[in-house]
Amino acid sequence: MAEASAKKKIFDFALLRRVFQIAAPYKKKIYLSIFLAILLAIFSPIRPYLIQLTVNKYIKNGLLQMIVDITIIQMVLLLIETGIRFYFSFITAWLGQSVVKDLRVKVYDKILGLNLSQFDKTPIGTLTTRTINDIESINDIFSDGLIPIIGDLLSILSILIVMFWVDWKLALISLSPFPFIIVATYFFKESVNKSFIMVRNAVAALNAFVQEHLTGMAIVQAFAAEEREFTKFKKINREHRNANIKAIFAYSVFFPVVEIILAVSTGLLVWWAATQAMNLSADQALALTGKMISFILYLNLLFRPLRVIADKFNVLQMGMVASERVFKVLDNQDYIKTQGNYAPAQTKGKVDFDKVWFSYVDDKYVLKNIDFNIQPGETVALVGHTGSGKTSIISLLNRLYSIQKGEIKIDDVNINDYSVEALRSKIGIVLQDVFLFSGSVMDNITLRNKDIPYQKVEEAARLIGVHDFIMQLPGGYDYNVMERGSTLSMGQRQLISFIRALLYEPSILVLDEATSSIDTESEQLIQHAIDTLITGRTAIVIAHRLSTIRKADKIIVLDKGEIKEMGTHDELLNLGGFYAKLHSLQFEKQKAAPVQIR
């Protein structure tokens, strides 16, 4: 399929036109590069013709000064041509890199705005490849693809025109092996194209394997699976090597074939000239010698672009395939619709779910007719088995996904009427699995927002009792937490996320209970932080341990995406229903002392 697509897309002029539309801001550079390509095509046959002229006229007449003048002219032309060729190469490379820069910004901006469902369906490695590798391949369309191919074809055309103009018979004789190089070029292009696809697939497999296993190295070592995984790596690496060797083999065959055909063309040229010279006068023989010398130069100039044009076609082909993949990301319509522009300075924190239905895939609903309301300042707990829909509810509140039916309101205003930025700035989220970026503690708290002063961060940290813990770290707020916060414990990562949530002073706080898998000391710190955070705010707590939600104003019991019960802790226990069974089941297995939200 990939191969068929590659063959098809090189002739997809609509796709090629779209690629050049991205380069529209640089159209002057495009026109300049095409103009330079035409200049190079004109310059190509001039020097061989001047050599022929020198041999035919000035050597015959012994005009030494004219020979010197022609030589100087050739040197000047050579310098000019070299300068033009350098500038042409620089302009096309600059153009490619400029397009890559702009396109990468567009793609990343698009990825930032995609609905979270796209990240559920698309491997992260795929989007990484689109943003980096595939866009880099589009650069080759400009630097090594279409414009250089146009330049090479123009040079070939101009040389052929001059050869037939000088002596059409000599041109036909010397170009008689030309069909063989066309056939060789075709087979080379096809072979290298297949090899390129194999190499790209092998690289993708190798990158995916290494990335996944470096991330999961702790699991590999913990289960003594090093040897088994190393064997898998060697197999993938061997496939990568074999794919590259096939590409190298095609080059190793093609270039010698081109040299042989060039040698045959030169031999035919010399043979024909030798047979003709026997019947010519001295002046005619000298003229023929001049033609023969110029034609040998013409052939070398002709075969030089032919050696690389097939390779450039493959580069263009791969760039077109890459551009198609990138445009699929840009054309993705599953993005966060930002039609709302309501952005109040403050919100009270009232939350209403009105008969909400939601599914991640088609009509397989994970939330069914969810209907509840939360008054400002209330603490509401969501409980239920894994997969009951707790996390989906908080994701919908934050507009990470779009609902299929019903309505969600904050302060009696539909969340779709809010601007996304304004909505999310009013909702603070602390997840159980805290993600920290590589960088300092300060960077992770402020998310590199330079507008947030150090004093405000320290004030928030002191408010929830975390400042002393941070100052105990080497470097304090400048301590590097490394990738994913690997140098911090789970409890420490949670505490940093609390500061992050408090810093933006949200009116609604969402807590994915964080005290279920940490030590007692950290649990006490986190419980204090929770108490501080929820004071005066609407709080939605996802409860994994029922002992932590006794003081919640309302408990919503979920099962298979539906609300089964709703009420206070005591009310639900007295009801003797679903919650009472969950409570009884959990406390039979758990004897730990309860930690309450106060």
The pLDDT value recorded for residue 595 is 43
Beta strands 427-430 and 554-559, pairing class? unpaired
Tell me if 492 sits within 8 A of 410, measured CB to CB: no
Q: What pLDDT is recorded for position 592?
A: 46
Which residue type, as a one-letter code, is found at position 498?
Answer: F
The span from the CA of 403 to the CA of 231, in Å, is: 46
pLDDT of the residue at 360: 81
126 CB neighbour count, 10 Å cutoff: 15
Neighbour-count burial for 301-329, b at 16+ CB within 10 Å, e otherwise: bbbbbbbbbbbbbbbbbbbbbbbbbbbeb
* CA dihedral angle for residue 335, residue 340, residue 342, residue 346, rounded to 10 degrees: -30
| Token output for 490 | 């789970």
Give the 3-state secondary structure of 188-220: HHHHHHHHHHHHHHHHHHHHHHHHHHHHCHHHH
Kindly report the backbone phi and psi dihedral angles of residue 11, in degrees, each rounded to the nearest multiple of 5, phi listed first. Answer: -100, 5
Which among 426, 440, 425, 441 is positioned nearest to 496, based on CA atoms?
A: 441
List the one residue out of 530, 548, 538, 513 whose CA is nearest residue 466.
Answer: 530
- The answer to whether residues 398 and 430 touch, using CB atoms and an 8 Å cutoff, is no
Return the pLDDT at 311.
73
Report the pLDDT value the prediction gives residue 174, as an integer from 0 to 100. 85
Could you give the domains of the chain? Answer: 2-330 (1.20.1560.10), 351-589 (3.40.50.300)
Answer for the pair 143, 315: CB distance below 8 angstroms, yes or no.
Answer: no
End-to-end CA distance of the chain: 61
Specify which residues 563 forms β-bridges with. 558
SS3 506: coil
pLDDT at 96: 85
Side by side, the strands of the sheet bearing 508-512 are: 427-430, 508-512, 538-542, 379-383, 554-559, 562-567
Work out the number of other CB atoms within 10 angstroms of the CB of residue 77.
14
pLDDT of residue 9: 43
Residue 485: the pLDDT is 65
Query: Where does residue 174 rank: exposed (0-12), middle (13-18), buried (19+ CB within 10 A)?
Result: buried
pLDDT for residue 515: 55
pTM, entire model: 0.68
427: its two tokens: 């909702």
Q: What is the pLDDT of residue 353?
A: 93
- Cα-Cα-Cα-Cα dihedral of 175, 179, 185, 191, to 10°? -160
Nearest alpha-carbon partner for 323 in 117, 95, 21: 21
Q: For residue 598, what pLDDT is reported?
A: 41
Share in percent of the chain as helix, strand, coil (round to 5):
65, 10, 20
115, 402 contact by CB (below 8 A):
yes
| CB neighbour list of residue 331: distance below 8 Å, 6 or more residues apart | none
Return per-residue pLDDT of the chain as tens, 598 residues.
444 444 444 446 788 888 888 888 888 888 898 898 888 888 888 888 888 777 777 666 656 666 677 778 878 888 888 898 899 889 888 888 888 888 888 888 888 777 776 666 666 666 776 777 778 878 888 887 788 888 888 888 998 998 899 888 888 888 888 888 888 877 877 777 777 777 777 777 777 777 777 767 777 787 777 888 888 888 888 888 888 888 788 878 888 888 888 888 888 888 887 787 777 666 677 777 778 888 888 888 888 887 777 777 777 777 777 788 888 888 877 766 666 788 888 888 899 999 999 988 777 888 999 999 999 988 898 988 878 888 888 888 888 888 888 999 999 899 988 888 888 888 888 877 777 777 888 888 888 788 888 888 888 888 877 788 888 888 888 888 876 666 777 777 877 887 887 787 788 888 876 555 555 556 666 677 777 777 778 888 887 767 667 778 899 998 888 999 898 888 888 888 888 888 787 666 554 444 444 4
